[in-house]
């Protein structure tokens, strides 16, 4: 059986769909979220002399960040602490995350452990890991005969 097209029915369906869309938007858009992803985003760069790891750690204090290097793994860990006690019932939206985090990055062997250097500035941690002479690329001279 074929149903005839009805402009009134189409408008009623459109209104219902729009009501549902707005209801869902305001219901999810105004609630406190449970987001707890604190894993820092990192860039790992390698050049002839060193590895350079840059990690985004906005809002962190230098003393709350710990860096270790063991078994060719660089580990950046710490805790982002809330500035004040929060009462969720006053928030319309809560997206900033607090808590402990850890990020481990594998680094190839052949690095100078005693020369690793870290700088934290403007929310970005930069770790320089120098390579040993043996790990640096070597240019091989081609002999002409």
Q: What percent of the chain has pLDDT over 70?
A: 72
Rounded to whole angstroms, the Cα distance separating 2 from 113 reads 78
Residues in contact with 31: Cβ distance below 8 Å, sequence separation at least 6, in sequence order? 93
Is 19 a domain residue? no
- CB neighbourhood size of 47 (10 A): 10
Number of domains in the chain: 1
Is 22 a domain residue? no
What pLDDT, in 10s, does the model give residues 39-75? 889 999 999 999 999 999 988 899 999 999 999 999 9
Is 115 a domain residue? yes
Is 64 a domain residue? yes
Instruction: Give 119's pLDDT tier (boundaries 50, 70, 90).
Output: very high
Name all contacts of 94-99 with Cβ < 8 Å and 24+ positions apart: 94/32, 94/33, 95/33, 95/35, 96/59, 97/35, 97/36, 97/37, 97/38, 98/38, 99/36, 99/38
* Domain with 85 in it: 42-133
Written as six digits, the tokens of 50 are 């060193």
Q: Are 50 and 57 in contact (CB under 8 A)?
A: no
What pLDDT, in 10s, does the model give residues 72-99? 999 999 988 776 665 656 666 667 777 8
Start-to-end C-alpha separation, the chain: 90
Is 92 a domain residue? yes
Task: Give the pTM.
Answer: 0.65
Is 34 a domain residue? no
Is 61 a domain residue? yes
Collapsed DSSP state (helix, strand, coil) of residue 143: coil
Rounded to whole angstroms, the Cα distance separating 46 from 108 reads 10
Higher-scoring residue by pLDDT: 81, 7? 81
Is 24 a domain residue? no
Residue with tokens 């390579």: 131
- CB neighbourhood size of 69 (10 A): 15
pLDDT number for residue 31: 47
CATH number of the structural domain spanning residue 48: 2.60.40.790
CA atoms within 13 A on the CB side of 67: 19
């Amino acid at each position: 059986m074929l149903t005839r097209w009805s402009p009134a029915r189409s408008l009623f369906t459109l209104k219902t769909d729009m009501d549902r869309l707005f209801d869902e938007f305001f219901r999810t858009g105004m609630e406190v979220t449970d987001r707890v992803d604190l894993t820092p985003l990192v860039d790992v760069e390698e050049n002839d002399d060193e590895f350079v790891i840059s990690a985004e750690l906005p809002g962190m204090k230098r003393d709350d960040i710990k860096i270790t290097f063991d078994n060719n793994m660089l580990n950046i860990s710490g805790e982002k602490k809330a500035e004040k006690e929060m009462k969720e019932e006053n928030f319309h939206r809560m997206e900033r995350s607090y808590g402990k985090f850890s990020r481990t990055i594998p680094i190839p062997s052949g690095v100078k452990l005693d020369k690793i250097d870290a700088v934290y500035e403007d929310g970005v941690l930069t770790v320089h890991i120098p390579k040993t002479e043996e790990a640096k690329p070597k240019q091989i001279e081609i002999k002409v005969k």
